[in-house]
Each structure stands twice: as C-alpha cells, then as structure tokens.
Amino acid sequence: MSAEFAPKAISSPDGEYWYEIDLDPRAPMLADHRPGGEPLLGTAMSLEAIATAARQHAPARTGVSIKSVEVLSPLIVARGTVRKAEIQLRPVPAGPGRTIHGALVSHGPDAEPVTHLRAWFDYAPWPAIGSQRPTLAVGCGANAVAGDLVYEEFFHGPYFRVIGNAERAGLGLLAKFSAELQSSAHARGAGTEIAPRLLEFALQAAGLLELSTSGRMMIPHWIQRVERLQDGAVEGSPLAYAWFDAPVSGACINIDVTDGRRNAALSVRGYRTVALPYAPQAAGLDALARRLRLSVDRT
C-alpha cells in the first residue's frame, strides 16, 4: 500500500465501495504541489490514491492498468486545514469483477459533492519487462536544460522536482530523472501502486515538450492509458521520452519511462492537457522554452 495514503472503508451504497482519505496540506505531496499558490492534489497522486483503495478492496489482485482518466476539477486543500476526500469504486458490468470505475470526490462548503477525477482500470498483472528505444540509454547531452532552471518556472517543490535535466530530441523530448531523488526507492516506485512520482516525471516531461512547442504551461485533462510495466525498484536513473502522436498542433502526447538499462518502467498513452488556470510570468517561460528548443538534438 502506498505510504502516502491510508484509505478507510466507509458505508457504501449497494454495488459501490467507498473509502475516505485525509489530506494534510503539510504533507510533501501537497505542500510541494501548488500550481496556484495553494496545495493541490495532482493527477499522479490522485490516481495513486484510487489505486491504493483498489488494492485495499482486493488485496489478492496484482497490478492495476489505468485507462480513460478524466481530470475534472482541482482538489485544493487550504493551508492549515486537513481535508477529507472520498474514493468511490464501482465494478463495471462490461468487465465482471475486473474492470473498475474509480472517482475521487470531496464536499465543498455547501456540502455538495464535487468529482475531481475519474478513471477506469483493470486488475491485471503488470506486463512483462520490455526494452525501449536505444537512444534512451544515452542520457542527456551537454546542452541539456538543468532541472534547477526548469523549477525556476515550474511550480513544484522538492518532493516533485523529479527532472534532473531535459533536452529536445527529434519531434520529442528526453528527460533524465533527478539524481537527488534517484537514491529513493520509493521515488522510483517501490512500495506504491502505480509509481506516482515516475508518472509525475512522465507528465512533467510532456509539459516541457509542450512548453517548447507552444510556449504555454499546461496541466492534465485526459489520459487514455497508464501502465506500470515492471515490478520492483527501477534500475539506474530513469529516462522519459515524450513525443506527440502526430506532429500537429493539439495532438496528444505519449510518454515512455525506462530505467538505465532500457527496461520499460511506465507507459503513458493519449495524454491531453488544458491551459494552466493562472498566468505564470511569461518572460521566464519564454526563456525556458527557448533553452529547450536550442538544446542538443541527437536523433
């Protein structure tokens, strides 16, 4: 079970299973994720919360394959206040006992329920370890953009500063996992359900790719599929390669995360975004976008 979450089963309607989680804004997963200045439970951690509840519901199952993720509304936790959220699990008739609909829900001041994220997933063993493109084993070049420069503009605190450096590569972008976090087995996915910081790494790499092409900072809206592709800790420093599924404006992004030996660790397909709902400093973003476009292209 994920160390960040301890879902508690609560009374449920027939055919549904409900769990409650406490969200403390002092926890790193919230304190270090503040896109608008307030702690916000991001997409990767929201999916980890749902997957953790799913594992508690069916502890004998091995692996979760997530599909059709829809991000609907930000789950903001006011500083100084522990907020409760609920996770709803419902078996889907099309896949008896295997396909599950999950939703992350909270209640606002008027007590009306707000659905923040929903996803469909299957209980299934993680696919066998595979290998990815040979270029991913090379790592980033001398002109790659350092993570310190990335996080001068990105809103993430230390817990989510997962990018060590990044560069454009062909029509895509190659990123290397942070050396500071690499020593943490948990950061690479051990003891978690979906390796949320590897997923965060993938989504941030996609964000850098999108920034380098559009000049805009974007946030998640839709993911077609997320698969964790190996069990256990990732060997070596993970690499993420993000690319548009077609070289046209508005196309979705695919991301592969591999370890230092090119073993597949995580796959994200059909990632789509929307504009960040507040305006960061344009000058800093423009400078970062230019640096990314000028980084070494070795493909």
% pLDDT > 70, the chain: 84
pLDDT, tens digit (0-9, with 9 covering 90-100), for 211-239: 999 888 889 999 999 988 765 556 778 99
The whole-number average pLDDT for the span 247-261 is 79
Residue 111 lies in a domain: yes
Q: Do 67 and 156 belong to one domain? A: no
Residue keyed to tokens 């951690």: 45
Residue 1 lies in a domain: no
pTM > 0.75: yes
CA pair distance 22, 129, nearest whole angstrom: 35
Q: What angle do CA 24, 25, 28 make, to 5 degrees?
A: 95
What CATH number is given to the structural domain containing 209? 3.10.129.120
Give the CA-trace dihedral at 96, 99, 104, 105, to 10 degrees: -30
Q: What is the pLDDT of residue 134?
A: 45
Measuring CA to CA, which residue among 126, 129, 127, 121 is closest to residue 52? 121
Q: What is the pLDDT of residue 133?
A: 46
- Choosing from 123, 152, 175, the residue where a domain stops is 123
Q: How many residues does the chain have?
A: 299
Domain of 261, in residue numbers: 134-294
Residue 40 lies in a domain: yes
What CATH number is given to the structural domain containing 25? 3.10.129.10
Q: What is the pLDDT of residue 193?
A: 86
Residue 26's pLDDT band, with cuts at 50, 70 and 90, is very high
Residue 128 lies in a domain: no
Beta strands in 16-63 (DSSP E): 17-23, 40-41
Q: Do 71 and 176 belong to one domain? A: no
